[in-house]
């Protein structure tokens, strides 16, 4: 029997977890690391790196590396124009409304679900390697529960499900992150009562209010902001650094002219890495330093807090709205649970404590609790255990466009799912056989202020005088929060055909093609894959080393900063690794790769320091 897992597909990091003997566990790599950075990098030869290796490549090959792709899931090309400001990768899209976002890495283009699929596949492999190492006869992982922010709309959920399918996973269920967290939390607590889950992650914010009773986790209301998280804090700090060194943060010039060195994507990523470290430090210390190359900037926690205060305040209005929708006062909430890495920030904790009038829970690891909950849900679905039940809601109202560009709501927000709603349509002229229907999601009055989900054409209405047909259109939101539509003419009982054109997203055929395209599909042999990975890793290190040895500044560095014999040592390990590169013994390749990594560590530090300080002082790297 193949295995099922729970996956937290995060903006910054992703995790995979499974249930063993009723207890959920995060699956870790050999070094004990459970987090897979949600980063994908495409090397020049087309090799795809995911996770830590891709994260390293942000500093050496930023333009071929993508992070925070979750922000683009289910979005239209014209919606994300403003987003490109601080990202190293190219974003384009099909022209016109409804155009799908495309991310350019080298000479290849990917849709956001394809990038997410690469991350999911990495998690799948991690889990399979783990189960194989456990001695499982059938370690294949082909089914998963995947989490999404509670405030994700239909298009974003559908894009996530597509990503799962492209990765070769049957998506058992899409569940909401705060709800998943409450499952993991409720597991060992056996508490009943009202729980608020405050989830501030890398890119998204959610608040959910739940009632837990008799093992039923019933969401009463949810709210949030799918564009608010730790990423925004990083950008604030990055802007501060760039202000100091006298330039704004941006993509390199697109014309023929050479981009100024400061704006090289690698330098920007070096700054990003540094400010993230500073942000982490400030959760522990009263004062920390931003260090990028020679640049130093001290920042106190109170300075930091006044910088991020407006962002933290933006989480409070959704909290109040969720309470109002649940018909509760803040004081009625029994417990508050913190989820997401950004809730480690002391200011966030204080703001939450103040709003709810109680100290929030933080004993569970905020990075892991969502994946654990997803694993619990996967286990419920597969095992048939009826101990617990999750009842979630739809975060946004669903409706259709009516006369005058106004949205008429059919299913209200915070309705428990699955939910249905129906609407009657008729014809406007004699013998009309088709009606156009525009489906929307959102809370605003006017169509243009809400999110367009799809346009339907109802066909096959029997010819009748105007106003005579009675076409009942039924909207069904399933337990994943995903919409489907059916229609029937009531006088004739004729079932209508519906052509669905999702406003932003992939058609079934496109998903199917991507699935077939994926190299994964043909590749059955797990060991072969590991060997390829080991070779790729070795090639990366060889290339980086050769590049360093060829750099104009190398001879100067060799003289001034390297120890006697250091260069010779590097050269000999390098040729050794090249010799074993085509061996079929993975461990030998890995051994030599590690040796070359060790031999060049000092050189890499020296070079990185030089290039960053050069970048920050405005000189071209090659002039150093």
Partner 1 sequence: MSSPATLQVCRECGGGAPVDVHFCPQCSKILTLGRHGDYFAFLGLPRKLGIDAEDLEQRFRGLSRQFHPDYFYNATPAERRASLERSSYLNDAYRTLKQPMTRIEYLLQVEGLAPTSPQEASRQVPPALLEEVFALNEELDEIRDLRAGGAPPEIWKSRLERARGPIETKRVAHEAKLQELSARWDALVDSGASVGDRRAANEALEALRDRFLERNYITNLLAGIERELSQ
Binding site for partner 1 (CB under 8 A): 172-173, 213-214, 216, 218, 377, 380-382, 384, 386, 389-391, 415-420, 476, 478-479
User: What is the residue whose two structure tokens read 């508050």?
Assistant: 336
Nearer residue to partner 1 within complex by CB, 234 or 392? 392
Q: Of the two residues 371 and 390, which places its CB atom closer to partner 1 in the complex?
A: 390
Beta-sheet strand order (sheet of 471-477): 419-425, 471-477, 483-489, 494-495
Catalytically annotated residue among 199, 206, 379, 537? 199
CB 200 within 8 A of CB 342: yes
How far apart CA 59 and CA 272 sit, in angstroms, is 10
Q: Which residues contact 406 (CB under 8 A, 6 or more apart)?
A: 445, 446, 447
Nearer to partner 1, 258 or 402 (CB): 402
The C-alpha angle with vertex 174 and arms to 169 and 180, in degrees rounded to 5, equals 120
Asked if 63 and 104 touch (Cβ cutoff 8 Å), the reply is no
> How far apart are CB 409 and partner 1 at their closest, in Å?
11
- Name the 3-class secondary structure at 421: strand
Among 564, 570, 565, 582, which residue's Cα sits nearest to residue 546? 570
Catalytic residue among 63, 128, 177, 225: 177
Phi-psi region of 214 (alpha: psi -120 to 50; beta: other; left: phi over 0): left
User: Closest separation between CB of residue 73 and partner 1, Å?
Assistant: 24
Q: Given the complex with partner 1, which of 479 and 498 has the nearer CB atom?
A: 479
* Distance in Å, CB of 208 to partner 1, minimum: 17
Cβ at position 457, least distance to partner 1 in Å: 25
User: Regarding beta strands 141-148 and 170-176, do their DSSP bridges make them parallel or antiparallel, or are they unpaired?
Assistant: parallel
Q: Which CB atom, from 85 or from 491, has the smaller least distance to partner 1?
A: 491
Closest C-alpha among 472, 475, 461 to residue 431? 461
To partner 1, the closest distance from the beta carbon of 5 in angstroms equals 15
**Which residue, chain included where needed, has tokens 């124009």?**
81
Q: Minimum distance between the CB of residue 24 and partner 1, rounded to whole angstroms?
A: 16
Residue whose CB is less far from partner 1, 4 or 101: 4
H/E element holding 485? strand 483-489
The 8-class DSSP code of residue 500 comes to E
Of 307 and 479, nearer to partner 1 (C-beta) is: 479
Q: How far is the CB of 192 from partner 1 (least distance, A)?
A: 12
Is 262:250 a contact under the CB 8 Å cutoff?
no
Question: Tell me, what DSSP letter sits at residue 340?
Answer: S
Q: Least distance to partner 1 from the beta carbon of 475, Å?
A: 10
Annotated catalytic residue, options 53, 61, 63, 70: 70
CB nearer partner 1, residue 87 or residue 212 = 212
Sign of the C-alpha dihedral computed for residues 161, 167, 172 and 174 taken in this order: negative
- Report the C-alpha gap between 70 and 159 in whole angstroms: 10
540 closest CA partner among 32, 64, 25, 36: 64
Strand order in the sheet with 65-67: 48-50, 39-42, 65-67
Q: How far is Cα 9 from Cα 69, in angstroms, rounded to an integer?
A: 10
The H or E element containing residue 457 is strand 451-459
Q: Which residues, other chains included, contact 307 with Cβ-Cβ below 8 Å and sequence gap of 6+?
A: 236, 237, 240
Give me the least distance between CB of 218 and partner 1, in Å please. Answer: 7
Would residue 177 show up in a list of annotated catalytic residues for this protein?
A: yes
Q: Measuring CA to CA, which residue among 446, 397, 451 is closest to residue 75?
A: 451
Q: Given 8, 61, 63, 128, which residue is catalytic?
A: 8
Q: Which residues of 78-92 are buried (b: 16+ CB within 10 A; e: fewer)?
A: ebbeeeeebbbbbbe
Decide if 29 is catalytic: no
Q: Give all strands of the β-sheet with 101-105 in edge-to-edge order.
A: 90-93, 101-105, 108-110
Please report how close the Cβ of residue 413 comes to partner 1 at its closest, in angstroms. Answer: 12
Concerning whether 367 is annotated as a catalytic residue, the answer is no
> What are the backbone dihedrals phi and psi of residue 414, each rounded to the nearest 5 degrees, phi first?
65, 20
Q: Which is nearer to partner 1, 69 or 417 (CB)?
A: 417
Q: Which is nearer to partner 1, 474 or 594 (CB)?
A: 474
Active site residues: 8, 70, 177, 199
């Amino acid at each position: 029997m193949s295995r099922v897992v729970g996956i937290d597909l995060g903006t910054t990091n992703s995790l995979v977890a499974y249930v063993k003997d009723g207890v959920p566990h995060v699956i870790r790599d050999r070094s004990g690391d459970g987090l897979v950075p949600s980063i994908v990098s495409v090397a020049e030869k087309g090799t795809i790196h995911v996770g830590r290796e891709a994260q390293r490549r942000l500093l050496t090959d930023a333009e071929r590396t993508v992070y925070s792709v979750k922000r683009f899931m289910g979005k239209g090309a014209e919606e994300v124009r403003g987003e490109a400001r601080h990202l190293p990768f190219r974003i384009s899209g099909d022209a016109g409304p409804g155009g799908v976002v495309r991310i350019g890495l080298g000479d290849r283009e990917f849709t956001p679900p394809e990038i997410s699929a690469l991350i999911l596949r990495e998690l799948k492999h991690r889990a399979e390697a783990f189960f194989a190492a456990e001695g499982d006869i059938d370690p294949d992982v082909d089914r998963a529960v995947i989490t999404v922010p509670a405030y994700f709309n239909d298009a974003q959920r559908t894009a996530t499900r597509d990503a799962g399918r492209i990765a070769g996973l049957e998506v058992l269920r899409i569940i909401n992150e705060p709800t998943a967290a409450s499952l993991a939390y409720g597991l060992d607590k056996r508490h009943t009562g009202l729980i608020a889950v405050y989830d501030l992650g890398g890119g998204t914010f959610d608040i959910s209010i739940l009632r837990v009773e008799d093992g039923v986790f019933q969401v009463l209301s949810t709210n949030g902001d799918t564009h608010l998280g730790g990423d925004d804090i990083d950008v604030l700090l990055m802007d501060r650094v760039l202000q100091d060194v006298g330039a704004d943060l941006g993509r390199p010039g697109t014309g023929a002219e050479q981009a100024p060195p400061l704006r090289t994507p690698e330098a920007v990523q070096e700054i990003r890495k540094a400010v993230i470290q500073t942000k982490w430090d400030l959760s522990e210390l009263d004062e920390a330093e931003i260090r990028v190359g020679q640049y130093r900037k001290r920042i106190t926690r109170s300075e930091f807090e006044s910088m991020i205060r407006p962002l933290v305040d933006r989480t409070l209005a959704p909290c109040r709205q969720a309470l109002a929708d649940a018909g509760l006062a803040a004081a009625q909430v029994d417990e508050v649970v913190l989820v997401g890495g950004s809730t480690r920030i002391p200011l966030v904790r204080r703001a939450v404590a103040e709003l709810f009038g109680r100290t929030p829970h933080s004993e569970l690891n905020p990075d892991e609790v969502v994946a654990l909950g997803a694993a619990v849900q996967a286990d419920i679905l597969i095992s048939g255990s009826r101990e617990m039940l999750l009842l979630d809601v739809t975060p946004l109202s669903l409706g259709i466009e009516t006369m005058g560009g106004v949205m008429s709501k059919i299913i209200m927000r915070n309705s428990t799912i699955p939910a249905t709603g129906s609407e009657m349509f008729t014809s406007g002229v004699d013998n009309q056989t088709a009606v156009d229907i525009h489906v929307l999601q959102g809370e605003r009055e006017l169509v243009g202020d809400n999110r367009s989900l799809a346009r339907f054409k109802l066909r096959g209405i029997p010819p009748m005088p105007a106003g005579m047909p009675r076409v009942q259109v039924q909207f069904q939101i399933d337990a994943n929060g995903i919409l489907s539509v059916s229609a029937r003419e009531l006088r004739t009982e004729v079932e209508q055909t519906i052509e669905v054109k999702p406003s932003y997203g992939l058609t079934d055929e496109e998903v199917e093609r991507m699935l077939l395209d994926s190299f994964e599909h043909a590749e059955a042999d797990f060991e072969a894959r590991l060997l390829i990975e080991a070779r790729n890793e070795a090639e990366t290190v060889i290339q980086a080393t050769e590049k360093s040895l060829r750099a104009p500044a190398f001879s100067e560095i060799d003289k001034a900063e390297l120890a006697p014999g250091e260069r010779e040592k590097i050269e000999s390990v390098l040729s050794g690794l090249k010799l074993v590169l085509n061996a079929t013994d993975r461990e030998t390749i890995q051994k030599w790769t590690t040796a070359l990594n060790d031999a060049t560590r000092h050189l890499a530090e020296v070079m990185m320091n030089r290039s960053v300080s050069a970048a920050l002082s405005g000189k071209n790297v090659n002039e150093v």
